[in-house]
Structure 1
Amino acid sequence: MRKHHSNLLLIFTRNPELGKCKTRLASTIGDNAALRVYIFLLEHTKNITAGLDAEKRVYYSEEIWHDDIWDAEEFSKKLQQGGDLGKRMVNAFQQGFQDGFKKIIIIGSDMYDLTQDDLQRAFKALEKTDFVIGPAEDGGYYLLGMKKMKPELFKNKAWGTKTVLNDTLNDLKSEKFILLQERNDVDLYEDIKDIEAFQPFLKHINK
């Protein structure tokens, strides 16, 4: 039986299948290496979230995998619902608030830069403010947290483009929010080519 938390962490993942994840990265390093990079990032995400003092829900993109790295004792498993990323996120947040959680944060699973301290800071920030955002270097965000529902954050966004952060901040103009430190998510070869941890996955193109 899990203890009851007021904090909820939503982790959005893609099912790690060949040719279906990290496609922009794969265009440079190939499907096999891109899949290995994504599995490495999933492991990192699991490691930084496992000990966090919060309820944790992993939302799969395609189907729930029962026998994988996400231990069902530690992580609840759900399926993303909705036609685009905005609908999928709003549905996950709404479910969390309906279930009685007070502070809800969502992250993806491709953030090598992210630490457990970052997540703890984000939950702590929500003690002082209603919203918290982690801006990504590419113009999106890697983390969004809230204490109250604001559906417009998930509407009229060109998901996956560099306008997402600015459009989201415009929606928050009349709200209290805290911006976290900027971080880099992994989408392109340029995001990992100079990071030592990724070199084993890049040997075939660095010869």
Structure 2
Amino acid sequence: MVKAPVAGRVKTRLGRDIGAIPATWWFRHQVTRLLREVDDPRWRTVLAVAPDTALHARFWPAHFPRVSQGRGDLGARMARLLRLPHPGPVCLVGGDIPSLSAAHISHAFAALGGNDFIFGPATDGGFWLAGLRHPSLAPAGLFSGVDWSTATALNDSLKTLAGRRVQLADRLSDVDRAADL
């Protein structure tokens, strides 16, 4: 899941600390690095782009298929993406996780062989990955009532999955503020 690297529209909390232009520069280069890392023949990498108007922008590498994230809060957009028809398990990751590697993605897909969901906990209480074995397993209230960008985002999300088999992946850090850099 990526946002168009437009100053003042991406990494706004980081931008408040270091300025909108440096935050946008960091994000653009981080996403470029991340896409190189996760471009792997073991899975199909698709860019889920926001806003919709940036779907066909030239700054995305041409060989990656793209879908729109659509409208709504982060939870509504993630739930929509997880429910899209797909032939196998799907994992969503953000573009702001510097230590994310292909090995983390591989581990997540392997874990979905015996679990319904997988989450990659973030050090700030949120998560860097949400994965689902099959779209039919996504409950109607998936990600409802989650207090996004808080220390309770992961726990709030897990509450929407009562009774499902959920695995947790490695804990990684995302970058939201200057201190995270």
Asked if Structure 1 and Structure 2 have the same fold, meaning a TM-score greater than 0.5 normalized by the shorter chain, the answer is: yes
Aligned to 2:144: 155
Aligned to 2:27: 38
Aligned counterpart in structure 1 of residue 132 of structure 2, from 146, 153, 177: 146
- Say which is worse superposed, 142-151 or 111-120, in terms of deviation: 142-151
Q: Give the superposition deviation at 1:46.
A: 0.6
Aligned to 2:168: 179
Aligned to 1:129: 115
In the alignment, is residue 116 of structure 1 matched against residue 102 of structure 2? yes
Q: Give the superposition deviation at 1:85.
A: 1.3
Aligned to 1:200: none
Percentage of identical aligned residues: 28
Amino acid at match of 1:127: G
Amino acid at match of 2:99: D
Q: Say which SS state the counterpart of residue 55 (structure 1) adopts.
A: coil
* Structure 1, unpaired ranges of 5+: 1-11, 193-207
Q: Which portions of structure 1, spanning 4 or more consecutive aligned residues, are displaced by more than 6 angstroms?
A: none
Shift in CA distance, 163/35, structure 1 to aligned 2, threshold 3 Å: same
Shift in CA distance, 141/156, structure 1 to aligned 2, threshold 3 Å: same
Q: Say which SS state the counterpart of residue 161 (structure 1) adopts.
A: coil
Aligned to 1:18: 7
Q: Give the superposition deviation at 1:52.
A: 4.5
Amino acid at match of 2:111: A
CA deviations over 1:48-105 (Å, ceiling 9, x no partner) = 211242122211111213422422x3x211211122111111111111xx2x422011
In the alignment, is residue 93 of structure 1 matched against residue 82 of structure 2? yes
CA contact (8 A) 1:157 1:167 kept: yes
Q: Distance in 2 between matches of 1:49 and 1:70?
A: 13
Q: Scaled by the length of structure 2, what TM-score is found?
A: 0.90
How many residues align structurally?
A: 176
Q: Scaled by the length of structure 1, what TM-score is found?
A: 0.80
- Say which is worse superposed, 150-159 or 41-50, in terms of deviation: 150-159
* Structure 2, unpaired ranges of 5+: none
Aligned counterpart in structure 2 of residue 81 of structure 1, from 62, 65, 70: 70
Q: Distance in 2 between matches of 1:39 and 1:65?
A: 16
Aligned counterpart in structure 1 of residue 39 of structure 2, from 38, 42, 50: 50
Q: Say which SS state the counterpart of residue 174 (structure 2) adopts.
A: coil
Shift in CA distance, 190/135, structure 1 to aligned 2, threshold 3 Å: same
Amino acid at match of 2:158: L
Q: Distance in 2 between matches of 1:154 and 1:80?
A: 15
